[in-house]
Amino acid sequence: MPETTAQHRTPPHYRGGAATGAPRLAGLPGVHRAEQLPVEVHETERYDTDDLRLALAGITLSRHHADGAVQWQLDLPDGEDRERLRIPAGTAQPPEEIDALVRGAARDRTVRPVGHARTTRTVIRLRDQRDRLLAEVVHDAVSVATLGSCTEVRSWTEAAVLPLDAPAELLSELATRLADDGLRPAAPATAAELDRLLHPAPPHRRTGPKGTAGAELMRYLATHVDRLAAADLSVRRDEPDAVHRMRVAARRLRSALRAYRPLLDRECTDPIVDGLRTLGRELAPARDAEVLRERIATGLADLPAQLRLGPAEAMATRHFARTEAEARAAVLTELDGDRYAQLRTALDALLEDPPLTGRAARPARRELPAVAARSARRLERAMARATDPGTPAADRDAAVHAARKAGKRLRYATEVARPAVGRPAKRFAAGLKGFQSALGEHQDTVVAREALRELGAATTGAGENGFSFGVLLGRDLARAAEIERELPALWSSAWRRKRRRWLR
């Protein structure tokens, strides 16, 4: 029985030297006629910055020319897979849809052609006496080159046999002739060779001697610089929760830099802290709008029918559609601005040449707890005010919010120390969870109350019934008061001396 395409899941593919010509096809068993199709030329231009920032970010941007058509192709990292975006090419520069996505990786550098691949393809169809197509032999002359001040060129030949309805005898003879010409079984290599020529050197990151406080701190900072970069692309793609992930990465970086100031030269790090604070403030409205929309929508849905009066859902939907659109536009403006580009550059420089002090050279297991204890004392002072019955009611929300921020700072300081300290730091962080959750929920009610007042006023001003927003406002006020009553007990449980012995 003849061997058919169904028995060849992957067409045989071969590779040889640049001078290898088309295979000899005369006298092949069962072949009556060899039909050569018009020669095709496929070209690919790889785009990147001079220092290959897109490749470092896992982004591949190419411009393809084939069969008279020109197309942009953008491959983006997407977890374990990759997402591919194809757009017809109108100009030699990346279109706005693509430029907007790669801007965060390119920052202040121009994206231009950095590599070129050219494939001259000859396809020969092999037919039997009945003019039945038996197989196709594809012969590619390939050249790949880098572009710029330093040019490197690679050339080779590739061939492939598409079996179609070819008998085993014909396929065996084709394999023999290709081998005689110096071609050996190998996978297609054009894209891989271009990747190899344009493979950027990994960023040089210094941490200091292993086991020191400085090494653990720099490892933590590097992790969250990378997370900030990944979130940047997610925000530009408008992925769910992307702004939150970016804001958390920025907050962790800022908290670590502030909590471990004794290990770093503040003259170098304070401007970065300021930049991260500014970025957080610019991201806050978008994140707050997302959280508020979900909170208020859930609150309205959970109300009994008799308490859902007027067009509350429609008013909330219109309000947050406008608010979120405005907030997203503001975020993208910030990410495309010079201030953010300078921050990213400063973070890269921090990792390349960390301004570590003498204390950073001390053993991590002893020094990190000693420095983290400063954040613990800060939280103690904040909680003393938040739980003090004498704190005026008008100042209570601000006091609880200050304690929440101090708690987060200690939480992130504990994250830095945890690899060196081990289980005691892990248990301590776990013990703070319930307390921190309560502080977070209290702040959610504070932000929601302001939005509910605004929605209620707007609904009433439009001549509609704003009662439902008033009900939600009353519930949030009651929940905030309940949390304030629970705080002393939550704090007492979280702040047990046994749990914080590791803090020296």
What's residue 4's pLDDT?
39
At 81 the pLDDT is 52
Q: How far apart are CA 470 and CA 476, in angstroms?
A: 10
Show Cβ contacts of residue 489 under 8 Å, excluding neighbours closer than 6 positions: none
Nearest alpha carbon to residue 355 among 257, 252, 220: 257
What is the reported pLDDT for 2?
A: 38
Q: What is the pLDDT of residue 399?
A: 94
Report the sign of the C-alpha dihedral through residues 231, 236, 240, 246, in that order. positive
Query: Which residues in 268-282 are b (16+ Cβ under 10 Å) and which e?
Result: ebeebbebbeebbeb
DSSP β-bridge partners for residue 121: 40, 140
Cα–Cα distance list, 342 to 104, 131, 412 (Å): 11, 66, 24
- pLDDT, position 5: 38
User: Where are the alpha helices (H) located in 422-466, listed in sequence order?
Assistant: 423-431, 433-461
Half-sphere exposure of 439 (CA within 13 A, CB side): 26
For 353, which DSSP code?
Answer: S
Regions of the chain with pLDDT less than 70: 1-10, 78-83
Burial per residue of 47-78, b for 16 or more beta-carbon CB atoms within 10 angstroms, e otherwise: bbbeebbbbbbebbbbbbeeeeeeebbbbbee
CA dihedral sign of residues 487, 489, 493, 497: positive
Domains with residue ranges and CATH for the chain: 5-197 (2.40.320), 213-495 (1.40.20.10)
Q: Which whole-number Å values give the CA distances from 191 to 54, 69, 182, 195, in the listed order? A: 16, 19, 22, 6
Please check whether residue 502 is in contact with residue 421, taking contact to mean a CB–CB distance below 8 angstroms: yes
Closest C-alpha to 295, from 172, 448, 182: 448
- pLDDT at position 3 is 38
